[in-house]
Amino acid sequence: MPKPKYGSEPYKALANYKDALERLATGGRVPPHSIETEQSVLGSMMVDAYAAEIAFEEIGDCDMSVEATPFYRDAHAIIYMSAVAILKRNERVDLLTITDRLREKGNLDLIGGPSYLVELTSRIVTTANVQTHSRIIKQKHLAREMIVLNDMVNTELWDGYENPMALNDVHQAALFDMRSKVKKPEFEGVGVLAERKLASLALMGDLVAPGIKLGIDVIDSVTGGLRPTRYYALGAREGTGKSALAVDWALNAAFGKDKSYGVFHWTGEMSKDDVTTRILANLANVDSMDIDDNKLTVDEREDMNAAAYKLAKTPYVIDDTSGITPLQLRAAIRRAMRQHPIDLVIIDCIQWMEADYIEHDNTKRMTAISKQLKRLAKDLKVSVLVLSSLRRDEKNPYSEPNKSMLRESGQLESDADAVMLLWLKEPYEGEDVVPITVKFDKQRARMMGRVEIAFRRSRSHFTDKQIEFPEFKEPEQQSFF
């Protein structure tokens, strides 16, 4: 059987698709493109910093290579890559920064010199259409890639390739890959995820205060609720329940007594399915292990269905994109905001994020990420809650934590408006309900101190209400520094 000339990998034939387009265009047909649209987008990016971010959301970083960008003209691809590099340094994109970047990389003459950049900006009357124009550029690029892909298939078949079904699989995989590069995924609400979880188990059958209340009275009394534009850090050692507490707070925000707040929850360590299991265990008051093992009683199944019904229209979305960067996170939150308002952003956890540029030093990487997240909270006017691991105390793993223990992130301690630390004073092996001390190690304009809450491990649920967990005794008096 003849082997495919282009190989079995869907994009191997497309790696040099511009060369293929030139060959296919020898008959006088010009590949789909729009130079004017490309010029409009690039000019808008240099005129309006917000337009630059919108264009990046639609087009992406394109692996930072000329061949990978959707721009037809190489000069435009080089200009766009320079803009992306500037964005990743958390700097403003404008005519001067673009010019400096191109000159620094020796590309200024390649794109036509400073006069061409001035020409691009002089064409701009309004930047209102930058999103639409960015999508047109992507669609034109998709059309060109499909032309090359179909030519690849035709060439293989005309040359006698004997397994057309295998070739069809390559063709379909390439089409799917193309579509995923053009179409941004819509976020699934947690209600959809909960329903899917139930199906897999065959179970289907205004706040008075300005802040977002977290549902635990002693914590709400200290924090006053999470406020828009503020940046909060929650640190804990492994196994202390920080992810469970974040889910607890997210649900209390989404099901607020006086107002329902929109929640965007990025999880780097757990999958969406794992987070959904914790949510269902929390709401239905069932053991999360029983959900995973599908060992639920009839009553528990009914409680699960009730929980899923409750989640159906909840403004709570979960994103588990691996190794997300702050710039990608910002774009994802903005896409989610098109579905419903977002008030609270949860990052679980910061150590699982990547910087917008390659940084091998972990401390420097965390510093860059933290600064971007701080800016994100202010720009999008949301509360940002960042979870962070704490460094281990090898001598005493249950010693009192402090904010200097935030792993590889002294900048997080500095950037945060409040730092909360969870403290498990002993292992409490074999016990389901355990006391957890929440230490407020930093709070701007509010008190610092310690409060104790109860953590029910099997239900992934925290509370300060003694009536729910009679085996836990609240302290007679909360202690503050």
Q: How far is CA 249 from CA 219, 245, 276, 303, in A?
A: 11, 6, 14, 21
Percent with pLDDT over 90 in the chain: 34
> Residue 137: pLDDT above 60?
yes
> Which of 164-178, 341-355, 365-379 has the least mean pLDDT?
164-178
**CA terminus-to-terminus distance, the chain:** 79
Q: Report the alpha-carbon distance of residue 320 to residue 119 in Å, rounded.
A: 42
> Residue 478: pLDDT above 50?
no
Neighbour tally for 181: CB within 10 Å: 17
Q: Report the alpha-carbon distance of residue 55 to residue 121 in Å, rounded.
A: 15
Phi, psi of 290 (to 5 degrees): -65, -30
pLDDT, tens digit, 9 for 90 and up, residues 215-269: 888 888 888 889 999 999 999 988 888 999 999 999 999 998 778 999 999 999 8
User: Is residue 137 helix, strand or coil?
Assistant: helix
Q: Which of 480, 390, 472 is nearest to 435 (CA)?
A: 472
Q: Report the alpha-carbon distance of residue 179 to residue 470 in Å, rounded.
A: 55
Q: Report the alpha-carbon distance of residue 75 to residue 435 in Å, rounded.
A: 62
pLDDT given for residue 90 in this prediction: 80
Q: Report the alpha-carbon distance of residue 37 to residue 70 in Å, rounded.
A: 12
Q: What is the mean pLDDT of residues 343-366?
A: 85
422's enclosing H/E stretch is strand 418-423
Describe the chain by its helix, strand, coil percentages, rounded to 5.
50, 15, 40
Percent with pLDDT over 70 in the chain: 80
> Residue 474: pLDDT above 50?
no
Q: Apex CA 180: angle with CA 177 and CA 183, to 5°? A: 150
pLDDT, tens digit, 9 for 90 and up, residues 403-457: 888 876 668 888 999 999 999 888 888 888 888 999 999 888 788 888 889 888 8
Q: What is the mean pLDDT of residues 9-34?
A: 60
pLDDT given for residue 359 in this prediction: 66
Classify residue 88 as exposed, middle or buried by CB count within 10 Å of its CB (0-12, 13-18, 19+): buried
Give the confidence band of 377 by pLDDT, cuts at 50, 70, 90: very high
Q: Report the alpha-carbon distance of residue 13 to residue 89 in Å, rounded.
A: 34
Q: Report the alpha-carbon distance of residue 336 to residue 321 in Å, rounded.
A: 14
Q: Report the alpha-carbon distance of residue 324 to residue 350 in Å, rounded.
A: 10
pLDDT given for residue 8 in this prediction: 36
